Amino acid sequence: MSNEPNDTPRQIAAKDISPDPVKIVSPQTLDLYAKRKKIQPRAIEGFFQNIRIITIWATMAVYFLLPWVTWDGRQALLFDLPARKFYIFWWTFLPQDFIFLSWLLIIAAMSLFTLTVFAGRVYCGYVCPQTVWTKIFLIIENFTEGSRNARVRLDKAKISPEKIIRRGSKHIAWLAVAFVTAITFVGYFTPARTLTTELLQVNLGGWELFWIFFFTMATYTNAGWMREQVCMYMCPYGRFQSVMMDKDTLIISYDAKRGESRGGRKKEADYKSLGLGDCIDCELCVQVCPTGIDIRDGLQFECIQCAACIDACDSIMDQMGYARGLVRYTTEHQLAKGGRFKFLRLRLVGYAAIIGIMLTIFATMLTLRVPLEVETIRDRNQLYRENSQGMIENVYLLKVLNKSQKTRHFTVSLKSDKHISMSKPVVMDIEAGDLASLPVTLVADPEELHHNKYEVTFMVQDSIDPGLNKTSESRFFAPAQHEGRDHD
């Protein structure tokens, strides 16, 4: 029975919202592609640019020299993919040690998070390979095509022998740097000395040629043509770094309270009485910016914190006789309320503590790591066999992996029932990083066996350094009729 007062369907007032055909306009195309505006950053000198020069050269030196450092007669840092061995100075990592490399990567990621909480994108500004190589390419550009104004003029100039020579020499120099960068990169995966010898003899393998070509083009394109586009559109870190930052993170910022109202004035003018702030609106901070933004518009995701705008603005403040720091490293809290930089923050301390714990675990794992792996595989075809003398035999395959840096001489010993023994002494020499497979036979007199199953433990031990040893367990099987003979 219906609860409605009557069964007549209720009418709901409806409004016709269909578009007015008279008002429909032709559809417009919304272009999601923004054409790149070429940025010609102006070179600037100053305190932070000097620091950048040091960090850039240090990064380049580490990158280019590391493949030539030797350790124990081989390349100190080598990721030998075909042999599946990673050499990092005194360590040799094999696929079984993947946990160590994963752990290292996690620690590196956590460190980057912590650094971002502390000082924003300082990594981008000072040591990121994209920034470093772009800076090197800019130095080449400055050398071959001249200063910013000369480059802008060259861009607008018609084709001429001078333009061809300047442009051509720039691209040749860029390609040369990109080529050396690519050779070095491949040198981390193929021994660098062998690679360069093969290169000089024009005897490179197909894969090596491919990767050298690939990384040459990648470096040339990223650092020469795409530059800030990589930071703005391709790098995920730039996008999510704002999530990690807080109001006490060091950022590069324009002090609007001090700078506004901005405007031109004579050096000796009493600008305060004119209602002006310290910003003379010279736009030098914009001209030096490699990503082409105006720091006075506030914190922007495009800012890679290269500090060029600080040095530019400080130079103007010096010229005007004003205090430095209109654009400076500061925090949002400091800008709003003043005061000192808050170094000790719960979040920062928390991240630092996590990194400390992770590093401790990593160091402990490395210290406890035995550079030896032993695995025992039983002969699966038969549990046991009887030899011509009527003895019971079990056959095993010992797989021994020498993860140390040198050839070692190993002996194998057995721990089990006193009536079970090895058919012959087992010794082996295994080269650094090699895996050896060794058949081992255990024998026992069936009259002495009282069970059909015994635990056996093989110990593989370095004959010179007995502390380097590892055990592996298995079982010895005997005929079932011997089970329980001691109870007869």
Query: Residues in the site for ligand SF4, rule: CB under 6 A?
Result: 252, 254, 259, 262, 279-285, 288-291, 293, 295-296, 303-309, 312-313, 316, 326-327
Task: State how far the Cα of 435 lies from the Cα of 199, in Å rounded to an integer.
Answer: 32
Residue 48, Cβ density class (10 Å: 0-12 exposed, 13-18 middle, ≥19 buried):
buried
| HEC letters along 165-191 | HHHHHHHHHHHHHHHHHHHHHHCCCCC
> Which CB, 280 or 392, lies closer to ligand SF4?
280
> Which CB, 335 or 422, lies closer to ligand SF4?
335
Find the shortest distance in angstroms from Cβ 292 to ligand SF4: 8
> Which CB, 265 or 409, lies closer to ligand SF4?
265
Find the shortest distance in angstroms from Cβ 312 to ligand SF4: 5
Find the shortest distance in angstroms from Cβ 27 to ligand SF4: 38
Find the shortest distance in angstroms from Cβ 309 to ligand SF4: 3
Token pair for 479? 């005929």
Number of CB atoms found within 10 A of residue 351's CB: 20
Find the shortest distance in angstroms from Cβ 87 to ligand SF4: 38
> Which CB, 260 or 483, lies closer to ligand SF4?
260
Residue whose pair of structure tokens reads 């620690």 in the numeric block: 107
Find the shortest distance in angstroms from Cβ 252 to ligand SF4: 4
Find the shortest distance in angstroms from Cβ 98 to ligand SF4: 37
Contacting residues for 5 by C-beta, under 8 A, at least 6 apart: none
Contact criterion met (CB below 8 Å) for 69 and 348: no
Task: State how far the Cα of 276 lies from the Cα of 107, in Å rounded to an integer.
Answer: 49
> Which CB, 41 or 67, lies closer to ligand SF4?
41
> Which CB, 205 or 263, lies closer to ligand SF4?
263
Give, to the nearest 10 degrees, the angle between helix 129-145 and helix 148-156: 70
DSSP string computed for 317-386: HHHHTPPS-SEEEE-HHHHHH--------HHHHHHHHHHHHHHHHHHHHHHH--SEEEEEEE-SS-S-EE
> Which CB, 254 or 351, lies closer to ligand SF4?
254
> Which CB, 125 or 433, lies closer to ligand SF4?
125
Find the shortest distance in angstroms from Cβ 146 to ligand SF4: 21
Token pair for 429? 């020499």
Omega prior to 261 cis, within 30 of 0: yes
Token pair for 332? 């949002």
